[in-house]
Structure 1
Amino acid sequence: MRFDSALGLESRRGPLAVAARFVVYGLMVVAFTGPLVGLLVSAFSKTLDPTSFTLWPDEFTLENFVQAGEKNVYLYLLNSFVVVGFGLLLQMLVSVFAAYALARKKFRGMTVVMLFMLATMMLPEEIIAIPLSLVLADLPVLHLNLIGTYAGMILPVGAWGFSILVMTEFMKEVPVELEEAARIDGAGELRIFATIIVPLCRPALGVIGVFGFTMIWDQYLLPLIVATESTMWTLPIALRSLRSDEEVGIGVLLAASLLALLPSIIAFLAFQRQFMRGLTSGAVKG
């Protein structure tokens, strides 16, 4: 439903209705984009005045980003990219294979598995912080200590219940007749999965790609548990450290915040087409 339809503006005609639309849309733009514009302008400003709002810096400068580099912000940014890159790849692979098993295979305990995945989504991270740290310190069976390693920050985000559930529900809508026709032509299980199921699930991949990237990029507690040295910090932890550092100016903090924001925007733009198709498909099927 369109926003103007919900307010009853679409059915109204005349100058007052047009003016009302402009006012409503203007307020929405200010509410949603105002803080982002303020962050962007302030990050490139030499002198900051918290009481004023401008669309262009009074004194344009890159000094904030230079000082951010001196505080190792770019190293933390690189750490974040390493974690989110490998973590998202692993998460999407696990989600696709797990969803295929849940959507196409029948086995005992399927309901229990789904309940366990839902339970992981209901529990806040703080509850599993201590058990997670114990598991990472002594990985079961392998007896490996992942504390102080990038693997310790990547493996726990490799499986996410939300992504698996989204892929499962989408795969259930793929016609079984396509698989049956492929089997008649002699295609095996792996070929059917790779050439039929996965290509038809591109919209769902866009959805879990955007949400998965944001989830991993915003991780704070997990890197805080795993990282034993400041050189392993990711950007969210670095932002908290910069806030508590009295020697760091507000301009440097805003520049680091902008660097933390841009990758999420770029990820959404990269997956935008598939993301919107996935949401539309889900709405139509639902």
Structure 2
Amino acid sequence: MSAYTEVRHGGKREGIAVERRKRRELSVGKIAANILLVISALLFIFPFYWIVTGAFKVQNVAVAIPPEWFPLEPTLDNFRVLFNNPVWKWGFNSFFVATSEMIGVCLVASMAGYVLAKKQFPGRKFIFILFVSAMALPKQVILVPLFTMLADFGWIDTYQGLILPAIGWPFGVFLMKQFAQTIPGELIEAAKIDGCSELRLFYRIIMPLLKPALGALAIFTFINAWNDYFSQLIITRSTSMMTLPLGLATLQGEYTTPYGVLMAGAALASLPMILIFLLFQKAFTQGITMGAVKG
């Protein structure tokens, strides 16, 4: 009996030791993962930090080697020079174009994605394949025919020329179609049985269910439109129609580059994108989670 008790206690002590060793290994792994995440976060944050601090440095300090990691003598001269230009007009153009594209893409993509996911009609799969194929085309390939069409419509150097070509973004349709497939078909049938019209069904039932995907798409669309330097450069002609990225590019001289002024403009240009991300952060994280566990 004593031998049995000794064996039992010995096994229990061994189990406790194994459990403690596992906990210790998990703690070490968790600490290492946290350290790696902190280092990665600092690496991603550093460019933004450098832009913000550089906005308060004079020219010779901004390009000094070794660099001045924090402005010892901060100045607002860069912002004074920046606002001698029509920065508010450029900022309004960027915000108006990006917001209009965001609303238009979310609306059109949600409708198209719902139809491709839940409606049965001839050529549905072929149309979806066309959208997926269009995602592989670089923007430069369609630039010439797009510019020709805009010129024929008289939309060069206009808001509609900047906004409307981006409304049918293939990635948006693809994203919304994938999320719309997760909506139970029984829910749609029940709404139709209750006498819900197609339009009311979409706005009252489908749109709320697509909210996480719409949040993610809104962030992607706004950032893509805000940073779309290439298309805006081709379509715009006048200074009054320039967006903020285009306007900041004109501040660069032929022989000198005012790095402090450009960093001040870049710091201001980053604020709307940060605001949009904070507004849609919850829906964005929900969309990523739903996409991770789908199926």
Q: What TM-score does the superposition give when structure 1 sets the normalisation length?
A: 0.87
> What are the Cα deviations for residues 157-213 of structure 1, in whole angstroms up to 9, with x where unaligned?
111111111111111111111122222222221111111111111000011001111
Which residue in 2 is equivalent to 1:7? Answer: none
Which residue in 2 is equivalent to 1:34? Answer: 46
- Structure 1 stretches lacking a partner, 5+ long: 1-9, 139-143
Decide which structure has the larger Cα Rg and report it.
2
Select between 22-31 and 146-155 the one with higher mean Cα deviation. 22-31
Counterpart CA distance in 1 for 2:221 and 2:133 is: 18
* Alpha-carbon contact 1:80-1:234 (below 8 Å) kept: yes
* Alpha-carbon contact 1:38-1:53 (below 8 Å) kept: no
Counterpart CA distance in 2 for 1:22 and 1:118 is: 37
- Higher RCO (Cα < 8 Å, 6 or more apart): 2
Counterpart CA distance in 2 for 1:148 and 1:171 is: 36
Select between 92-101 and 58-67 the one with higher mean Cα deviation. 58-67
Superposed displacement of residue 239, structure 1 = 3.1
Q: Which residue identity is paired with 1:216? A: A
Which residue in 1 is equivalent to 2:114? Answer: 100
Which residue in 1 is equivalent to 2:66? Answer: 51
Counterpart CA distance in 1 for 2:119 and 2:76 is: 56
> What are the Cα deviations for residues 75-108 of structure 1, in whole angstroms up to 9, with x where unaligned?
2111101111212111111111111211121111
TM-aligned CA distance change 1:112 to 1:150, over 3 Å: same
> What are the Cα deviations for residues 213-260 of structure 1, in whole angstroms up to 9, with x where unaligned?
111111122211211212211122223322345465211010111122
Counterpart CA distance in 1 for 2:128 and 2:247 is: 36
Which residue in 2 is equivalent to 1:179? Answer: 188
Superposed displacement of residue 148, structure 1 = 1.7
Superposed displacement of residue 11, structure 1 = 6.7
Superposed displacement of residue 44, structure 1 = 2.3
Q: Which residue identity is paired with 1:120? A: A
Superposed displacement of residue 31, structure 1 = 1.3
Which residue in 2 is equivalent to 1:221? Answer: 230
Which residue in 1 is equivalent to 2:25? Answer: 12
Counterpart CA distance in 2 for 1:26 and 1:183 is: 51
Which residue in 1 is equivalent to 2:84? Answer: 70
TM-aligned CA distance change 1:119 to 1:13, over 3 Å: closer
Superposed displacement of residue 60, structure 1 = 2.5
* Alpha-carbon contact 1:68-1:74 (below 8 Å) kept: no
Q: Which residue identity is paired with 1:205? A: L
The CA RMSD measured in Å over matched residues stands at 2.3
Q: Which residue identity is paired with 1:12? A: E
Counterpart CA distance in 1 for 2:255 and 2:89 is: 21
- Structure 2 stretches lacking a partner, 5+ long: 1-22
Which residue in 1 is equivalent to 2:289? Answer: 280
Select between 19-28 and 180-189 the one with higher mean Cα deviation. 19-28
Which residue in 2 is equivalent to 1:207? Answer: 216
Matches within 5 A, 1:107-256: 107-138=121-152, 144-246=153-255, 249-256=258-265
Which residue in 1 is equivalent to 2:96? Answer: 82
Q: Which residue identity is paired with 2:25? A: R
Identity of aligned residues (%): 37
Select between 116-125 and 152-161 the one with higher mean Cα deviation. 116-125
TM-aligned CA distance change 1:202 to 1:70, over 3 Å: same
Select between 87-96 and 39-48 the one with higher mean Cα deviation. 39-48
1:70 counterpart SS class: coil
2:134 counterpart SS class: helix
Q: Which residue identity is paired with 2:238? A: E
Q: Which residue identity is paired with 1:260? A: A
2:83 counterpart SS class: helix
Counterpart CA distance in 2 for 1:226 and 1:11 is: 61
Superposed displacement of residue 28, structure 1 = 1.6
